[in-house]
Structure 1
Amino acid sequence: MPDVNRELADFLRRARAAVDPERAGLPADTRIRRVPGLRREEVALLASVSTDYYTRLEQGRRITPSASVLEGIARALDLDAAGRTHLGHLTGTPLTGISHPPAVQRVRPGLHQFLDALDAQPAFVLGRRTDVLASNRLARALLTDFNRLPAPERNYARWVLTSDEAREVFVDWEDQARAAVESLRLELGDASGDPATLALVDELRDLSPHFARWWSEHRVYQRTFGTKRLRHAVAGELTISYESFGLPGDPGQTLFVYTAEAGTTSRQAMDLLASWIATPSH
């Protein structure tokens, strides 16, 4: 039996033993449990596969389960993001991080502290459907104070497409707005059943003719890195680079950091803005 199959069998057995039967949503069963966790037939029931099929997986047989079967097993075993990733590695079939992300998006305290520590670089965290979950002072001074917006309006795509402020800030507004639409279109492919995402799309269709036109083109774009040209009332014009960082511990959240090259007028403008917001009146 190949090593990968032995490892898969061992992982499945240990994961099954760690599941609390009372919390698994199983039908009432008065039989005495002689081992911890779920029985094989219970995992099979929860995963919607046959007991024989699941048993062969636990025995390390030469089987290549489909993605849908693995999703069912991951749910039955209540695997977290790391467990799902490991199951995908063992079977050669990648699984998504968490099948049902939490409805309320929150940024962990340590990440808030990290954003605040980046006092010379604008930085912010976007969640699902480009919701702005956190930002540092320099990002709020450079773009807009998202904290002052009503909670439903703290959304990057919505701000870029519907606010006069965004048109003033971005010299290349059309490029940035189109990229926001195409990024949202890409995300919808992975969250087609999310009511909040669908509601945002409907709202933006009504609010922005540009959104309706670009959305109908069905183009997609993934923001990973790039440049933006901005115009600020205090700092003047500047060109910034941005990098994006997925947060492994928080699926669906992305950290964006803006930088300006040392020794350039853009860096000087960024430093001027940082100094301006550091004064007591700001």
Structure 2
Amino acid sequence: MDDLGDLGTFLQLRRANVPPESVGVTIGGRRRVAGLRREELAQLAGVSVDYYTRLEQGRATQPSEQVLDALSRALQLDDVARAHLHNLAKQRNRRPRPTSYPATIRPRLRQILDTMSEYPAMILNHRIDVLAYNRLAGLLYWDLDQVPVDDRNLARMIFLDADRFDLYADRSSCTAATVAHLRHAAGEFPDDPELAALIGELSIGSRRFSELWAAADVSVRGHGSQRFRHPMIGVITLHQERFMLPDGSGQELITLAPESDSIDEDNLRLLANLGVDDIGAPQSRP
């Protein structure tokens, strides 16, 4: 596993994943690297090879915003990955201070969650730990109730317990989005030892995670459709919205809603009318 907050490692990983022909570099002869060479990226970004080499090796510690933007263009980074690159550069000279992020939520927020009865809703943190969820989310994520509270991490369940936790219909895109989110979280919360431990555990325990992590893609969870494969109601498509709490805790409220007057709305209503005994869910939820 690479250093989660290391600028040079991120540059190296992204450089290795840029096909030379995609940026107009002519391939001649045998190449020892799959992506761009250092000198090719330096030329594309308009910096010296020596400076770029020192930047990647951690010996150039204060790159300008102009240099970072030039590297972003050369590496074909989108807005989220470009912001991540800038964030890593800011973190480079900062002394790490391990920080603990509580797995608790404010009582008022829990009360609001419980009143949201029409749609599944849950509260996650930046590590994708499930901190709390309402009744309908408990019915949708039916296997969550069988997982100990301290182990309710969606990334861990997706990658390390896939045989049992097979809820997402678009598994390939789901796993890629999960890893890209954790890469972004590593830049936003570089001092979180639990996040570092989680990424290390997933890298060792899942070949799929390790391969995706090496791609160094970066993204944040946003709105969009999510397809679930539920054992009682079949495939259901729900629209996801996320609301980040403004307190810097990394916690966010996630809601899932179907299109109006759709078969998905009918199926969600059917799920809501199921008793807890129908799918083995317990009466109480943390």
Q: Same fold (TM over 0.5)?
A: yes
Structure 1 Cα separation of the partners of residues 99 and 138 of structure 2: 27
The alignment status of 1:247 with 2:245, answered yes or no, reads yes
Contact 2:158 2:165 (C-alpha < 8 Å) held by counterparts: yes
1:236 equivalent in structure 2 = 234
How far is the alpha carbon of 1:147 from its aligned partner?
4.8
Note the 1:105-254 alignment, pairs <5 A. Answer: 105-163=103-161, 164-167=163-166, 169-249=167-247, 251-254=249-252
> Partner letter of residue 263 of structure 2?
T
| Greater C-alpha Rg | 1
- Identify the match of residue 260 of structure 1 among 258, 261, 265: 258
- Count of residues in correspondence between the two structures: 183
8 Å Cα contact 2:126/2:251 also seen in 1: yes
Q: SS state of the match for residue 240, structure 1? A: strand
Q: Which runs of 5+ in 2 are unaligned?
A: 1-96, 282-286
Q: What does the per-residue CA deviation read over 1:28-86, in whole Å, with 9 as the maximum and x for residues that have no partner?
A: xxxxxxxxxxxxxxxxxxxxxxxxxxxxxxxxxxxxxxxxxxxxxxxxxxxxxxxxxxx
Looking at structure 2, the residues matched to 143 and 157 of structure 1 have their Cα atoms a distance apart, in angstroms, of 14
Structure 1 residues 221 and 161: alpha-carbon distance in aligned structure 2, compared to 1, 3 A threshold = same
Output the TM-score relative to the length of structure 1.
0.60
Aligned residues: percent identity?
33
1:236–1:261: structure 2 CA closer, same or farther, 3 Å change rule?
A: same
Q: Note the C-alpha offset of 1:135.
A: 0.8
Change (3 A) 1:250 1:145: farther
Aligned partners of 2:203 and 2:154: how far apart in 1?
A: 15
2:188 alignment partner, SS class = coil
Q: What secondary structure is seen at the aligned counterpart in 1 of 2:235?
A: strand
CA distance in 1: counterparts of 2:148 and 2:181, whole angstroms: 23
RMSD of Structure 2 on Structure 1 (CA) = 2.2
Contact 1:147 / 1:154 at 8 angstroms: preserved in 2? no
Cα 1:277/1:116, change in 2 over 3 Å: farther
CA distance in 2, matches of 1:193, 1:250: 13
Q: Deviations over 1:66-125 (max 9, x none)?
A: xxxxxxxxxxxxxxxxxxxxxxxxxxxxxxxxx986542211111111111112211111
Q: Which residue of the partner structure matches residue 13 of structure 1?
A: none
TM-score by length of 2: 0.59
